[in-house]
Amino acid sequence: MKRNIFITSSSAIIMLVLISLAFGQTAVQNEEDKMVIPRLSQPPKVDGVLDEVYFKEALKIEDFVQLSPKENGVPTERTVAYLGYDEKYFYLAFRCYDSQPKKIRCSVTRRDNIMDDDWIIVFLDTFAERRRAFTFMLNPIGIQADFMRMEEGGNDNMDDSWDTFFYSDGQIDDQGYTVEAAIPFKSLRFPDENPKTWNLVLGRNLPRTGEIIIWPRYSRSIPGLLSQGRGFVLTGKVEKGKNLEIMPVLTSAKTEGQKVDVQPGVNLKYGANSNLTFDLTANPDFSQVEADVPQIDLNLRYALYYQEKRPFFLEGMEVFRYPAIEMVYTRRIIDPLFGVRLTGKTGRFSYGLLTAYDQKPTESLWEVHNGGGEETVDRNALFNIFRVKADVFNQSYLGFTLADKEISGGSWNRVAGIDGMWRFKDRFFFSFQALASDTKYENQNAKLAPALYSEFYYFTKIHPKVHWGAGGYFQAMHPDFEASSGFVNRVDYRTVGVFSFFNIYPDKKYLNQIGLNFQVGQRNSYSGDVV
């Protein structure tokens, strides 16, 4: 669980690591506090040069403050943002002043790989829930990164597997740099309402000075970033579109002495509305998907975890997030012949349904531990996964999941579970999971087995620059528990522990945070052995 407040630039993911979530009384805004984003009379040209329409008509924001190193300190460089929209696009532009423009960090690189550069960031919470936000980043020449940020029950997560389509560009000049973006409304999900009420957080990274600046003002004593966003209103109608994508696929291979093997396929995505997306794939070809980053696997007792990168499985993945025990891990579906996926949100309910027919399913933990190989042979598997989450109170939720894997030959693995995350009055956090699996394989009778997880902690500010927290956790995985649709690489243990932590904020240029963490725990097998 992440408890510190900072931004790190490692690999291809950023984490504004904050203590998140809550239900309580955080940052509740009145209608009069909400800004109105103006509708632009003409679309600006997205070329990195700010058009006159921004200066005359767009909403201007310039009261940025430091997030770090000094909470709400005055930034060393000025930043001005402009916001507007028309029927098709949401527009944003930044003028980032810099007194030493030759020292601006900017790299020509692939998408989602700009974390070490100067950049601007926009968190767009289109459901005004203060739980999830579409996140867009641009470096000084307009290279993009996009993420899905989620804040629930004391945890926060930046999911870099989420990608969407938008236009952007940027330029460096003798005053600093300018960037702009046009985000199609059909690339976003949002409620079908008028006027539209969304939430917004803006930021900028200045690596040369070690500053991260933010708008609106931010308080470390209030957990969560999105909970402190500013509300705004779009008053006019926008063109959401049906967002239909059809991509036929044809692959062929010729082996000496054999006939040419031709494999047709198709991928289809249909956005029925801004809240509901339908995906279908038949005989997909994932050969163009980015390869996995190599991991060292010498003398490992357990399977390695690899991030999902196949486009079909990425839509709506934020629905399938769990406090600890990962019930849905789509990398278990190795070679799908076909798949159907439905994800959406209606009111306070988010839901996801996934069906896939796998021609090369992986083996279970039981089969691996009893002499199996890496893949089953001459067997197929049908996966059916259903997930629903209900947002309750303020930034808390309850969820239910049913995952079923039916393997040819009469074997199966079925898992059902409930989970939830709560925050009480910005200070007390609690999360839990309770699962049960029903498993049968050819050489094994059907067995029922439970798995449990819970964690809580209390957080408070004992000094303007010192935050303290303490809590405990418990997890139990029965020896017969199996989640073949998820990622569970170890069973037969009970773990219990307590922890405490201090976050100290000196607010110095080269030292802005000190973290002290203490933890005591013990893990035993179900037979009583220490493991």
Q: Cα(307)–Cα(316) distance, rounded to whole angstroms? A: 15
* pLDDT tops 60 at residue 88: yes
Q: Compare 347 and 337 and report the one with higher pLDDT.
A: 337
pLDDT tens digits, 221-278:
777 788 888 999 888 788 776 678 888 888 888 787 788 888 898 988 887 776 788 8
Q: Give the distance from CA 24 to its chain's centroid.
A: 23
In angstroms, the CA 343 to CA 316 distance is 6
| Average pLDDT of the residues in 504-518 | 82
pLDDT of residue 476: 96
Residue 15: predicted pLDDT: 28
Decide if 397 contacts 390 (C-beta within 8 A): yes
Which residue carries 């009055």 as its tokens? Answer: 425
471 Cβ neighbours under 8 A, 6+ residues apart: 429, 455, 456, 457, 458, 498, 499, 500
Least confident of 15-24, 64-73, 515-524: 15-24
pLDDT of residue 377: 54
What is the structure's pLDDT at 157? 74
- Among 26, 46, 114, 122, which residue's Cα sits nearest to residue 86? 46
Q: Is the pLDDT of residue 27 over 60?
A: no
User: In terms of Cα–Cα distance, which of 173, 46, 164 is closest to 111?
Assistant: 164
Locus of tokens 């394989």: 441
Query: Residue 396: which pLDDT band, with cuts at 50, 70 and 90?
Result: confident
- Mean pLDDT score of the chain: 83
Do 164 and 158 contact (CB within 8 A), yes or no? no
Percent share of the chain, pLDDT over 70: 87
HSE-CB of 53 using CA atoms within 13 angstroms: 17
Tokens (6 digits) for 342:
């439905």
Query: Whole-angstrom Cα distance, residue 479 to residue 477?
Result: 6
Torsion angle, alpha carbons of 135, 136, 137, 140, to 10 = -160
Does 11 have pLDDT greater than 50?
A: no
Sign of the dihedral through C-alpha 328, 331, 335, 337: positive
Residue 507, token pair as written in the block: 């607010």
Q: What percent of the chain is predicted at pLDDT more than 90?
A: 43
Look-up of token digits 């522990």: 497
Parallel/antiparallel/unpaired status of strands 155-159 and 144-152: antiparallel
User: 73-87, 173-187, 298-312, 432-446: which range is least confident on average?
Assistant: 298-312
Helix (H) or strand (E) holding 312: helix 311-314
Tens digit of pLDDT for each residue in 184-197?
998 888 887 888 88
Closest CA to 96 of 133, 148, 43, 142: 142
Cα separation, 153 vs 390, whole angstroms: 13
**Looking at domain 6-234, does it have CATH number 2.60.40.1190?**
yes
Over range 30-42, report the average pLDDT. Answer: 77
- The span from the CA of 43 to the CA of 55, in Å, is 13
Locate tokens 């389509």: which residue? Answer: 165
- Would you say residue 424 has pLDDT above 60? yes
Q: Determine the pLDDT at residue 509.
A: 66
The answer to whether the CB of 326 falls within 8 A of the CB of 486 is yes
Q: What pTM does this model have?
A: 0.76
Name the nearest CA neighbour of 458 among 440, 472, 437. 472
User: What does the domain layout of the chain look like in residue ranges?
Assistant: 6-234, 244-287+302-524
Residue range 74-98: average pLDDT? 95
pLDDT band at 14 (very low <50, low <70, confident <90, very high): very low
pLDDT value for 522: 94
Which of 149, 143, 198, 134 lies closest to 170 in space, CA to CA? 143
445 or 109, greater pLDDT: 109
**Range 224-240 burial, b when 16+ CB lie within 10 A, else e:** bbbbbbbbbebeeebeb
- How much is the average pLDDT of 461-487? 90
